[in-house]
Chain A
Amino acid sequence: MAIEVRIPTILRTYTGGEKAVSADGANLSALIDDLEANHVGIKDRLIDNGDLRRFVNVYINDEDVRFIGGLEAELKDGDAVVILPAVAGGAR
């Protein structure tokens, strides 16, 4: 099983500069654990207190995972995962 995961610029320090890596997992949580096994440190940039970080967006086949089960969102062979940090900020 292989799932392509697109890595944003800011996290490419964990993937040796690679824009996309291959990973496995039956759901997003398992996929992130598999990413961590090969790219140590990346999990902490995605997960905080057992949940997806507020300002990290993950998409499975163009859908924001927050609308399809979050970390429990299911994955299958050939799915495409995209990680994008939120573009956000403000005077507050």
Chain B
Amino acid sequence: MLTIDQATYDAIVAHAKRDHPDEACGIVAGPEGSDRPERLVEMINAAGSPTFYEFDSTDLFQLYKEMDERDEEPVVVYHSHTATEAYPSRTDIGLASEPNAHYVLVSTREHGNNEGPVEFRSYRIVDGEVTEEPVTVVASL
């Protein structure tokens, strides 16, 4: 199960809506082994695409260096789908490389940049196996 605080949840949704129709992406870091998504880091989608996302390689390096220095790991890896459901695509599954992370998918297909509900779902992706998990939003962690 993914437990996430309301402010972080809202910020991920806002990021997805803001970048629509391109895919938005980022992570929520937390202390290693804690499973607590504490520190949201919005990343730039270097692909700048409505159907693909990729962290810029230099940004990726800086991000991991910073997490390393702070004894953090990516607890959540999130991105948006802008025309399809919030379910990992074959590409998402093939490229998933953080077996300990919660992969969060947000779909903005219904309301785009506008107000309105989004699909917000979370998965574990390990060795090509996708397992959906419940999301619990709490006032604070």
Q: Are B91 and A62 in contact (CB under 8 A)?
A: no
Q: Which residue of A lies closest to B25 (CB)?
A: A87
Shortest Cβ distance from B57 into chain A, in angstroms? 5
Shortest Cβ distance from A35 into chain B, in angstroms? 18
Cβ-based interface call for A70 (8 A): no
Q: Residues of B contacting A8 with CB < 8 Å?
A: 97
Question: Beyond A62-B61, A82-B61, A84-B61, is A90–B52 a contact (Cβ under 8 Å)?
Answer: yes
Q: Are A88 and B57 in contact (CB under 8 A)?
A: no
Q: Which residue of A lies closest to B62 (CB)?
A: A62
Q: Contact size class for B?
A: 35 or more
Cβ-based interface call for B49 (8 A): yes
Shortest Cβ distance from B16 into chain A, in angstroms? 13
Question: Beyond A64-B61, A84-B64, A87-B97, is A92–B25 a contact (Cβ under 8 Å)?
Answer: no
Shortest Cβ distance from A56 into chain B, in angstroms? 9
Q: Residues of A contacting B54 with CB < 8 Å?
A: 86-88
Cβ-based interface call for B99 (8 A): yes
Q: Can you list, as one digit per residue, whether each of A3-25 has a CB less than 8 Å from chain B (1) or not (0)?
A: 00000111000000000000000
Number of interface residues of A (CB under 8 A): 19
Q: State the main secondary structure of chain A at its contact with B.
A: mixed
Partner of A55, one of B47, B84, B95, B99: B95
8 Å CB interface, B87-123 against A: 88-89, 91-92, 95-100
Q: Are B77 and A87 in contact (CB under 8 A)?
A: yes
Q: Residues of A contacting B88 with CB < 8 Å?
A: 89
Cβ-based interface call for A76 (8 A): no
Q: Are B47 and A90 in contact (CB under 8 A)?
A: yes
CA–CA, A60 and B88, complex, Å? 32
Shortest Cβ distance from B108 into chain A, in angstroms? 11
- A residues adjacent to B (C-beta < 8 A): 8-10, 55, 57, 59, 62, 64, 66, 82, 84-92
- B residues adjacent to A (C-beta < 8 A): 23, 25, 27, 43, 47, 49-55, 57-58, 60-61, 64-65, 73, 77, 79, 81-84, 88-89, 91-92, 95-100
